[in-house]
């Protein structure tokens, strides 16, 4: 893959939602990467799992890496989750999804994913899901048992088949994605994608030029749609490396990652 090196002009918005007492979504944004993680419902300390994971990955600053190197960084962050459980056995069972987009030295982008948070790419007015849900319903769709239309409202659509929990077998799928200046990426928790149709998400992404405004609009429409979950949207515009609008190399944190860990990470 050839072409100019790119950076991300990214921002996020995260809301606890009206029906939850804790925000278990966490996110970070930086010129070299961005990610969203969603603590797995039904388990303990989902907010700790998502926050600890994104902080550990951001601290490693996976900038300009190969796919194998990014997988190693995710694996090390996953082992940190196990270390938390070893220190406090009451945390056993905590887990999180993870979806992240990172710049690569191959002039492309690396997409790392596990769980049912999603990555969408907006190009030439078309919004396309670029991640594949690790979920029971997606498996039923793949087998032809459930249609795409039925999957949207399936009662077990929140049952996931992969996550990061500190186990040795945990892993994220990493794929190389084409980097095209002008593309816009959306990384989001299922508090958005489970409640808002793709065409409504597309309208919000097209209506706001600024990534922060677009992320806030996506969260707003999820709240208006009656989401019963936490909701987080990360909007990343792909820009040329020389673009002067990207000034800060440090990561910014959102949701549980901002709430639980307030120390500054020097990722410059």
Q: Output 6 or 138, whichever has higher pLDDT.
A: 6
Residue 91 above 60 pLDDT? yes
How far apart CA 135 and CA 116 sit, in angstroms, is 6
Residue 265 lies in a domain: no
Q: Which residue in 164, 220, 136 sits closest to 38, CA to CA?
A: 164
Residue 266 lies in a domain: no
pLDDT value for 148: 57
Residue 107 above 80 pLDDT? no
pLDDT in tens, 213-222: 999 999 999 9
Average pLDDT estimate for 76-102: 95
Residue 91 lies in a domain: yes
pLDDT value for 153: 57
Contact status, residue 122 vs residue 183, Cβ threshold 8 Å: yes
pLDDT value for 262: 56
Residue 206 lies in a domain: yes
Q: How many domains does the chain have?
A: 1
pLDDT value for 263: 45
pLDDT value for 159: 67
Residue 223 lies in a domain: yes
Residue 225 lies in a domain: yes
Q: Which residue in 79, 41, 25 sits closest to 260, CA to CA?
A: 25
pLDDT value for 268: 31
Return mean pLDDT, the chain: 87
Residue 268 lies in a domain: no
Largest CA distance in the chain: 50
Residue 153 lies in a domain: yes
How far apart CA 179 and CA 70 sit, in angstroms, is 17
pLDDT value for 128: 97
pLDDT value for 18: 95
List residues bridging with 120 in a β-sheet: 129, 186
Q: Is residue 247 very low, low, confident or very high in pLDDT (cuts 50, 70, 90)?
A: low
CATH number at residue 65: 3.60.40.10
Q: What is the span of the domain harbouring residue 108?
A: 6-260
Q: How many residues does the chain have?
A: 268
pLDDT value for 41: 76
Residue 63 above 90 pLDDT? no
What percentage of residues in the chain have a pLDDT greater than 70?
83
- Tokens of residue 150, six digits: 């039925």
Average pLDDT estimate for 226-243: 94
Using DSSP, state whether 121 is helix, strand or coil. strand
- pTM over 0.85, yes/no: yes
pLDDT value for 140: 55
pLDDT value for 266: 38
What percentage of residues in the chain have a pLDDT greater than 90?
72
Residue 228 above 70 pLDDT? yes
pLDDT value for 242: 80
List residues bridging with 170 in a β-sheet: none
Residue 36 above 90 pLDDT? yes
């Amino acid at each position: 893959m050839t072409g100019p090196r790119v950076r991300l002009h990214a921002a996020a918005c995260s809301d606890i939602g009206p029906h939850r007492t804790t925000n278990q979504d966490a996110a970070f944004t930086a010129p070299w990467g961005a990610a969203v993680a969603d603590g797995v419902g039904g388990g303990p300390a989902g907010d700790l799992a998502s926050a600890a994971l994104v902080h550990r990955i951001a601290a490693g600053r996976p900038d300009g890496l190969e796919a194998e190197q990014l997988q190693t960084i995710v694996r090390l962050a996953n082992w940190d989750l196990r270390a938390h459980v070893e220190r406090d056995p009451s945390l056993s069972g905590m887990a999180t999804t993870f979806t992240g987009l990172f710049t690569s030295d191959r002039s492309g982008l690396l997409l790392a994913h596990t769980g049912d948070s999603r990555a969408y790419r907006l190009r030439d007015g078309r919004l396309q899901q670029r991640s594949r849900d690790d979920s029971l319903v997606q498996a039923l769709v793949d087998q032809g048992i459930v249609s795409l239309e039925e999957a949207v409202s399936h009662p077990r659509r929140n049952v996931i088949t992969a996550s990061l929990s500190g186990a040795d077998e945990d892993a994220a799928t990493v794929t190389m994605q084409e980097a095209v200046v002008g593309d816009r990426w959306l990384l989001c928790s299922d508090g958005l994608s489970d409640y808002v149709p793709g065409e409504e998400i597309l309208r919000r992404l097209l209506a706001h030029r600024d990534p922060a405004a677009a992320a806030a609009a996506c969260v707003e429409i999820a709240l208006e749609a009656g989401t019963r979950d936490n909701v987080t949207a990360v909007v990343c515009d792909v820009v040329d490396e020389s673009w002067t609008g990207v000034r800060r190399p440090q990561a910014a944190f959102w949701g549980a990652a901002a709430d639980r860990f307030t120390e500054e990470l020097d990722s410059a």
